[in-house]
Amino acid sequence: MLDFFRDGGPFMYPLGIWSILVLGFFIERAWTFARLRSEEELAAAANDVTERIDSGASFDQLNEYCVEMAKLEGEVFASGIARFEHLTREERTTEEMRAEMNGTIERAALSYLVRYLSIIQFVASSAILLGLLGTVSGMIRAFEGIAEKGLGEPTIVAAGISEALITTATGLVIAVPALAVYTYFATRADAKGIQFEAYGHGFVDALLRRWRASQAA
């Protein structure tokens, strides 16, 4: 394995780092998605938050509960509460606040679900390019060997061609699984985001009910 890595030339080092990145972020995303609440658990958590809002819990108390809740719901609802506090200081109509809050909740949920996926996508794209750079480097080395020694030293030519093929193969071996990981989790993120949307809007409606009640008092 070490000989294979060494024969691939200098571009094997960034490719090695890229492979570690893909593995690390795959494990992180797999762990995150495995811990997501089921729809029944999501409904229970959302209902609990809205009940606390309707019962008059302070923003500090709601934030503390969001920290305890953690995961997708805790992070998104905390972002929503922070944005709502700012909106209440502005002169906005109810519909403007609803539109702004729904957008905030949807963006926060998507941000949580697709976190690090852009890095995986970058690795998938750049691994192929690094492999191609290694291919060019290996071919240059092979032709330099031919120019210097002629065709009488086939081992020099073979070393350059070997470097070219190894980096190309390594880049593809990294890029294909990385692209599969990205596609899989991006699809799951879209599905979970759609599932969460209704509960997020219910959370926004609870905040707006409370705000209208305070304005009427």
d(CA 179, CA 197): 27
The reply to whether 75 falls in a domain is yes
- Give the count of domains, the chain: 1
What type of residue sits at position 174? Answer: I
CA 214 to chain centre: 39
Rounded to 5°, angle at Cα 193 from 188 and 197: 155
Mean pLDDT of 109-131: 92
Here the tokens at position 22 are 């893909």
Judged by DSSP in three states, 118 sits in: helix
Residue 34 maps to a domain: yes
**pLDDT one-digit tens code per residue, 30-60:** 999 999 999 899 999 999 999 999 888 888 8
Token pair for residue 58?
Answer: 């302070």
Predicted TM-score (pTM) of this structure: 0.83
Q: 36-53 burial, b if ≥16 CB within 10 A, otherwise e?
A: bbeeeebeebbeebbeeb
Q: Which tens digits make up the pLDDT trace of 55-77?
A: 888 888 999 999 999 899 999 99
Look over the chain and give the mean of its residue pLDDT values, rounded to a whole number. Answer: 86
Distance CA 79, CA 76 (A): 5
> Does residue 217 fall inside a structural domain?
no
In a domain, 106, yes or no: yes
194, part of any domain: yes
Flag whether pLDDT at 195 surpasses 90. Answer: yes
| Distance of alpha carbon 124 from alpha carbon 22, whole angstroms | 9
Q: Which band of pLDDT confidence, cut at 50, 70 and 90, is reported for residue 12? A: confident
**DSSP state, residue 76:** H
56 belongs to a structural domain: yes
Other C-beta atoms closer than 10 Å to the C-beta of 152 total 7
Per the model's pLDDT, the better-predicted residue between 90 and 158 turns out to be 90
Domain that holds residue 120: 2-211
- The encoded tokens of residue 173 equal 């071996």
Instruction: Tell whether 216 is covered by a domain.
Output: no
